[in-house]
Amino acid sequence: MALRDKVRFITPYTPGEQPRESGIIKLNTNECPYPPSPEFARTMAQIPPESFRLYPDPNENELRDALSEVYGIPKERIYAGVGSDEVLALAFLTFFTGGGPLLFPDITYSFYPVWADLYQIPVRTVPLDEDFRIHAEDYCTQEDKAGIIIANPNAPTGLYAGLDLIERILQANPGIVVIVDEAYIDFGGESALPLIDKYDNLVVVRTCSKSRSLAGLRIGYAFGPQMLMDALWAVRNSFNSYTLNHASIVGGAAAVRDTAYLKQTCERIIATRERLAGELRAMGFTFPPSSANFIFAKHETVPGSEIFAALRERKIFVRRWDLPRIGDYLRITVGSDAETDALVAALREIIKEKGAEV
């Protein structure tokens, strides 16, 4: 047997581009347009250089203490890892590798099917309706399930599903873990965190990459019943006890505690999002109402592929997937006001060039 026949190959997740050339308006990966908290900056500047010769705290106590203080949840019910992607990947490995299929929407975060393939978890994708909305009854079937994961607000649509829907799914599936991925919850909607005291099968996963402007440090965390968090720790410690580095632990704690700056940043992004939504509607774009830091939009007459290419020529990067149902949609991150002005001006030019009315 050839060596290649003994190697397992899978199709990996494709992240948004990270261009290094200057002059790019980067609206393709949902990063925050504003810098991290001033408290974060002060804390990072005060870290003694000699502290980096030691391994970081394997229990990430300083960060988990901060999360416990801010969210009012005991530290024993909090897990932290290298971005919500690592937290979710470990959750798939911990909770979903037995039983029937894992259920998630057909249009959602495109890493979910990759992790399922990696861990050889069977999947049943559940179609969203024609308005891209989730229906609870689709997840309340009596079939054997490995688990359920719902991004809320959903990505890439930006739609938020109310907690009544989440509760119906939890109540109908008491024997399996239900993960609610809240990467974008700070930009709209009500968090499912209060439900973890009510349901022993709920895990809520969040990140510092979006609203707290720390995508470059990779800090994610999960809340849930202690039994489920203990299981996550056991799996993590079975292959790497030192995942989060010292700077991420210390700096992340400072950013988490600066709730006033978080509120200010989110309010700015929401205001710009609503302004951008109005400009897009005026140009003939349609889109679901967004509760995230992006808008998922398509033009009434101009194909998404053409707009995507024309924006790229103007050094404006947005995200597009060449997939059924969503090929004409562009996911546009909400940038700064100046970036939004440049985007709107470029779109007006493009739509006019394509012969559509503006």
> How far, in Å, CA of 345 to CA of 316, rounded?
11
Instruction: Count the alpha carbons within 13 Å of 274 in the hemisphere toward its beta carbon.
Output: 7
| Mean pLDDT over each residue of the chain, to the nearest integer | 95
**CATH says 38-43+53-257 is which class?**
alpha beta
Output the CA–CA distances (angstroms, integers) from residue 67 to 25, 87, 88, 237, in the order listed. Answer: 33, 15, 18, 21
Cβ contact 176:148 at 8 Å: yes
Position 357 confidence tier, pLDDT thresholds 50, 70, 90 = low
How many distinct helices (H) and strands (E) make up the chain? 10, 12
Question: 164-185 as b/e, with b when 16 or more CB fall inside 10 Å?
Answer: ebbbbbbeebeebbbbbbbbbb
Q: CATH fold of 17-35+260-353, please?
A: Aspartate Aminotransferase, domain 1 (3.90.1150)
> How far, in Å, CA of 34 to CA of 108, rounded?
26
Domain boundaries in the chain? 17-35+260-353, 38-43+53-257
Judged against a pLDDT cut of 90, whether residue 68 lies above it is answered with yes
The encoded tokens of residue 358 equal 């503006």
Query: DSSP character for 319?
Result: B
Tens digits of per-residue pLDDT, 329-352?
999 999 999 999 999 999 999 999
Tens digits of per-residue pLDDT, 7-62?
888 888 788 888 888 899 999 999 999 999 999 999 999 999 999 999 999 999 99
The encoded tokens of residue 61 equal 């106590």
